[in-house]
A and B are shown apart, each in its own frame.
Chain A
Amino acid sequence: MMRFNSLKTPLVQGINLTKIFRYGLIWGEPVEAVKNVNINLLRGASLSLTGESGSGKTTLGKILLGIIRPTSGKVLFNGIDLTNPKRVPKYIRRMMSYIPQHPEEAFDPRWRLYDNIAEPLRIHKLIGSKEEEKEIIFKLAEDVSLDTSLLNRRPFEVSGGEIQRAVIASALATNPLFMVCDEPTSMLDISTQADILRLLKNIRDKLNISLLFISHDIEIASFMGFKIAVMLKGRIVEMADVDKLINEPLHPYTQGLLGIVKVEYVSSYAKNCRGCPYYDRCPVKMLPCREKEPKLKNVGGDHYVACFRY
């Protein structure tokens, strides 16, 4: 077991992350999915990423997990470089888990829930006998309040909420330190959503897991995180503690997401812009916004915003 640094140093650190996708074979237009993102996550802390779809939230989450290789920049997990997914030591993988958006996509449809939940344990060979495995799985199912009679069913035979519980159980099987939840409830019913979110929150507090929670709904994001980062076109445009961001949002885009200012939907905007990423929609744009991109800067009390007005 590796030793952990003190609580003050971040568990997960993303330094200057940039990811450029190219669609098409040779002449593909490059698209900046993530651009110059610096992100820190302390042990046991939780951060929510929010922003509209296509803002690069999911890509950033996957880079931090070391599933996608960033074009430039570095990801450090407790000091170990995750930048090249192929070189990540296997024992590191045990300490992180991923909960995808579509619960029905998260499991192999041919496997019973039981085997799907047990899979991380089997991959890492953490259990000795079948009995021990069964005991652990039943305990996990109980932790996420999943009916144990459902364990013998296959994913398409149970409801979305039930699979999502099983996915969480599977994610907890290896006692991870870092968990990325990619919109885990956007496909669920409202009452089930409340249930799952509360479950995730309880688990986070009980097991002291660092949680990166991705959601396009800023209300849900604020429920789950200590801090919120608002993303737009691959950049973080505002980051602050939940209360601060909800009560005094500074960036016009955040104000738009919160419904204070009307945001208009632009279906086809320039993918890679020179100036501020919000320029073409901003109600309070100024002259320099078009030419220069504002940097993310601290405006006091750990409140970061990328806008020329501050």
Chain B
Amino acid sequence: MDVKALSFLGIKGKIGLIIILFVVFIGITAPVISPYDPTSLFEPFEPPSSTHLLGTDDVGHDVLTILIYGARVSILVGFATATISTFIGLLTALIAGCYEGLDPIISRILDFFLVIPRIPFIVIISAFLTPNIFIVILVLSFFGWAKTARVIKPLVKQVYSREYVKRLKCIGAGNWYIILRHILPATFPLAVAQFVLEGGHAILAEASIGFFGLEDPSTLSWGMEINHALQKSIIFLTNIWTWVLGPPILMLTITLLSTTFISIDLETRINPRLKVRSW
């Protein structure tokens, strides 16, 4: 049924999934499909032509190449952050939901993590060390898991208070048996929705970090590309911005939109499917 819930995506979710898969595909096959090496330099600010399909940027990088390699970074950050934070968040939610005694303590910890704004925190961190991509992932996951836990915890509690769990306890099932066999599968669709949403947030956060210019300058990401473009105010005086600024913003928007589509679609599908319909 859980797998079914995924294959049961509505039209919105399907569109989102296709876009995401497309971005993942270009990220993975970047060295093969990109027209140039990401380090090779050309004339700066060349308009789109047959040699440079999307033109070149201020330093002379081919915009299309940067765009393709940028997908790599975004997908890596999104996927890794989502995996780590969903895993920790889910585990926390299961423990808090099933062990009543621990719930108040865990809730306070979650509150603490939820009020820390993550972007300013990264600004502070980057003052001490140059944040390469792995530090970005770690910091984003460090602040991302609490939200996942917060969203999943009520569902865990709700399922844990169902009569069938009481029946199982009476039969003699252990707590971890119940959690693994009954509660985890019940939270699975919501966890997937959270995973996708968290991935989207991480991609946006990473882009913001790049946009502020706080990332390792050698990183080729969409955020960095926007940052570079904006540093030259000349681009707004001409139509250069249409090919230097437009494509990375468009890619970012499309990717975020698709993750949002998928998670909304999943969430609207989770709840009614759990209910028993009776007239």
Q: A109-B276, A156-B276, A156-B277 are in contact. Are A93 and B172 (CB under 8 A)?
A: yes
Given contacts A110-B185, A110-B186, contact A97 B170 (CB under 8 A): yes
Q: Contacts of A119 on B, CB cut-off 8 Å? A: 168, 171, 173
Q: Which residues of B are found within 8 Å of A160, using beta-carbon distances? A: 278
Contact with A along B172-203 (1 / 0, CB 8 A): 11000100001001100000000000000000
Q: B173's closest neighbor in chain A, by CB?
A: A123
Q: Which of B21-29, B75-83, B85-93, B159-167 lies at the interface with chain A?
A: B159-167
- B166 close to A98 (CB less than 8 A): yes
Q: B276, A98: Cβ atoms under 8 Å?
A: no
Q: Considering the chains assembled together, what is the distance between the CA atoms of A97 and B169 in angstroms?
A: 10
In the complex with contacts A104-B276, A155-B276, A156-B277, A123-B172 CB distance below 8 A = yes
CA distance A174 to B170 in the complex (A): 12
A107 touches B164 (CB 8 A): yes
A98 close to B167 (CB less than 8 A): yes
Given A93-B171, A123-B172, A123-B173, A100 and B166 touching (CB < 8 A)? yes
Residue of B nearest to A68 (CB): B166
Confirm or deny: A108 has a beta carbon within 8 angstroms of a beta carbon on chain B.
Answer: yes
Q: Is the CB of B170 within 8 A of A98?
A: yes
Q: Taking the complex as formed, is B2 at the interface, i.e. its CB lies under 8 A from any CB of chain A?
A: yes
User: For window 229-256 of chain B, which residues contact chain A by CB distance below 8 Å?
Assistant: none
Q: CB distance B167 to A100 under 8 Å?
A: yes
Bound-complex Cα distance A270 to B168 (A)? 35
> Would A123 and B171 count as touching, CB distance under 8 A?
yes
Q: Which B residue's beta carbon lies closest to that of A124?
A: B172
Q: Distance in Å from the Cβ of A63 to the closest Cβ of chain B?
A: 12
B274 interface residue, CB < 8 Å from A? Answer: yes
- Does B115 interact with chain A (Cβ within 8 Å)? no
> Is A297 an interface position by the 8 A CB rule?
no
Bound-state CA distance A174–B168 (Å) is 13
Residues of B within 8 A of A93 (CB): 170-172
The reply on A244 being an interface residue by CB < 8 A is no
- Name the prevailing secondary structure of the B interface residues: helix
Which secondary structure characterizes the binding site on chain A?
Answer: mixed
B276 partner residues in chain A, CB cutoff 8 A: 104, 109, 155-156
Q: Does A105 contact B (CB under 8 A)?
A: yes
B170 to A123, Cβ gap below 8 A?
no
Contact A106 B171 (CB under 8 A): no
Residues of chain B lying within 8 A (CB to CB) of residue A96:
170
Q: Is the CB of B163 within 8 A of A101?
A: yes
B1 on interface, CB distance cutoff 8 Å: yes
CA distance A155 to B273 in the complex (A): 12
How many residues on the A side are at the interface (Cβ–Cβ under 8 A)? 33
Range class of the B interface residue count: 20 to 34
* Interface flag for A285 (CB, 8 Å): no
Task: State in angstroms the CA–CA spacing of A156 and B163 once bound together.
Answer: 15
Determine how close the nearest CB of chain A comes to the CB of B36; give it in whole angstroms.
Answer: 51
Question: Which residue of chain B has the shortest Cβ distance to A93 in the bound complex?
Answer: B172
Docked CA distance A304–B172 (Å): 35
A105's partner among B164, B173, B278 (CB-CB below 8 A) is: B164
> What distance in Å separates the Cβ of A107 from its nearest Cβ neighbour in chain B?
5
Cα(A154)–Cα(B182), bound, Å: 14
Chain A hits for B2, CB < 8 A? 110
| Complexed CA–CA distance, A123 and B172 (Å) | 7
B166 and A62 form a contact (CB under 8 A): yes
CB-based contact B164/A106 at 8 Å:
yes
- Are the C-beta atoms of A108 and B164 separated by less than 8 Å? yes
Closest Cβ of chain B to A78, distance in Å, is 16
Which residues from A are CB-within-8-Å of B172? Answer: 90, 92-94, 120, 123-124
Among residues 251 to 279 in chain B, which have CB atoms less than 8 Å away from a CB atom of chain A?
274, 276-278
Q: Mask for B128-154, Cβ within 8 A of A = 1, else 0?
A: 000000000000000000000000000
In the complex, A155→B1 CA distance in Å?
Answer: 13
A94 to B277, CA, bound (A): 33
* A42 in the interface (beta carbon within 8 A): no
- List, in ascending order, chain A residues with CB within 8 A of B1's CB: 110, 154
Cross-chain contact A174 with B171 (CB below 8 angstroms)? yes
Q: List 12 A-B contacts (CB under 8 A).
A: A62-B166, A94-B172, A97-B167, A97-B171, A99-B167, A105-B164, A106-B164, A107-B164, A108-B164, A123-B168, A123-B171, A174-B171
Known: A97-B167, A97-B170, A99-B167. 15 other contacts (CB 8 A): A93-B171, A93-B172, A94-B171, A97-B171, A98-B167, A100-B164, A108-B164, A108-B186, A110-B1, A110-B186, A120-B172, A124-B172, A154-B1, A167-B167, A174-B171
